[in-house]
Structure 1
């Protein structure tokens, strides 16, 4: 073997070794949290159904189950393959991508899809409707049957905070806590109008608002978020990375680059531990 062939072989070996080590690190960091995932279909009246992605650690009996409402149109197209693999849209959404950081022995998550009769996903108006609240109530009832000892927390991000506002208020005793992240705090241009003048004090459960100080989405003024959260808990996020549309998940609006710190703060708040009022 020539010296050139030896060096080439050596480089190829090192590349393979590096890829293997990277794969091992990824597995070590994600497998415990994502040990069990299943798409659960919950029947609704009129022959419709609504699905959620239930994620829990193998063998766990969680104390908390987070019912999570992603942003945008909320359409995930959840599908479980015969081999157990999950396919879904909106993989970059903060709540979708953060589920692996949330799930452990004490926490499980249920990410809610749009119902079968809304193939194009949610409108802002539907998120504020009694029908939407009843759909979420059916999911909550299914989760309570699965985890009778667990407490339920309603969590939304961006447009999902329309859902947390109305279902948080109208299903008061269902929730131990309600969390609004990247809240649509400044409705305008015909968008997020159901939240204009919404009375957050009408929500029975304790509440947490989480907002990035540099959120540049026109519907999500940081100063407005501070105003509407008065009397409730608030976490200010700074730092991280921002790219693309300021109202999308890879901008500060989606806490890009701060996932782990934001999730740790939220979990501490839920669990009654010391929690930071600033994440940076």
Structure 2
């Protein structure tokens, strides 16, 4: 009898582990079948450049191209070898790992790296700078040249939401929509200070906020995110799994275990379909 109780006590853990493994399988194994990828280098002034990872379904003519800003320092070190193999850092970042769930006949993604003159990646202040906005504008122009009939959507996660806030506001005619996920809603301890008091109503494109109710990152209070999202659209996420640093991708901050449901809800909102206000 005691052996039986010991085994059943492991059921919740095993269920969480299975969900995590399934999400990783989807992110890692659906993509090669579904899409083709290339590293695109966009020239900047002063002889610098900025790269993005362009992912689209073979033969597709996407209606939406998501320009995606990962979190952390944003340094991906994107490289493509002669045989087409792509290497990069931050593979667990929510937006990076979710691209295989996003891309289909109607959706393509462009994940933005840090520019060549920032070998250590972005600082919070640089994400809020006019130079950063100009860099994103160059990428947007390149994508409009490649996909003249597509709508561009700016998407950020965690520290990437500093980028979506400022580039969303300044490049008002560029985006059909702006999506902030795991927003840095609670600037604190000298971090995320550019977002302190930021006026999201100054962004003219329609906006979506996506936030986990149990996001334990000290910069990302859910209550503060709800206040910021007033007057805009909000998807509230619950459930999933959390492990490690609460401000990293495998915690609730990165929607760990809820990738497919969160991505599906975001895509429905972007596409104008009926979308769920809660994901659980």
TM-score (norm: length of structure 2)? 0.90
CA distance in 2, matches of 1:28, 1:207: 31
Contact kept? 1:185, 1:219, Cα under 8 Å? yes
SS state at 1:174 partner: coil
Deviation at 1:81, TM superposition (A): 1.1
CA distance in 1, matches of 2:77, 2:228: 33
Deviation at 1:29, TM superposition (A): 3.4
SS state at 1:52 partner: strand
In structure 2, the partner of 1:134 is 134
Q: How does 1:194-233 map to 2 (within 5 A)?
A: 194-233=194-233
Q: How does 1:50-199 map to 2 (within 5 A)?
A: 50-199=50-199
Contact kept? 1:216, 1:246, Cα under 8 Å? yes
Deviation at 1:28, TM superposition (A): 7.2
In structure 2, the partner of 1:30 is 31
Deviation at 1:82, TM superposition (A): 1.1
C-alpha RMSD over aligned residues: 1.3
Contact kept? 1:32, 1:104, Cα under 8 Å? no
Number of aligned residue pairs:
256
CA distance in 2, matches of 1:199, 1:104: 34
CA offsets, 1:86-145, max 9 Å, x none?
A: 100000000000000000000000000000000000000000000000000000000000
CA offsets, 1:203-240, max 9 Å, x none?
A: 01000000000000000000000001100000000000
Structure 2: state its 5+ residue gaps: 1-21
CA distance in 1, matches of 2:234, 2:33: 30
Deviation at 1:52, TM superposition (A): 0.1
CA distance in 2, matches of 1:151, 1:85: 28
CA distance in 1, matches of 2:214, 2:103: 28
CA distance in 1, matches of 2:52, 2:30: 24
Please identify the structure whose Cα radius of gyration is greater: 1
TM-score (norm: length of structure 1)? 0.90
Structure 1: state its 5+ residue gaps: 1-21
CA offsets, 1:183-204, max 9 Å, x none?
A: 0000000000000000000001
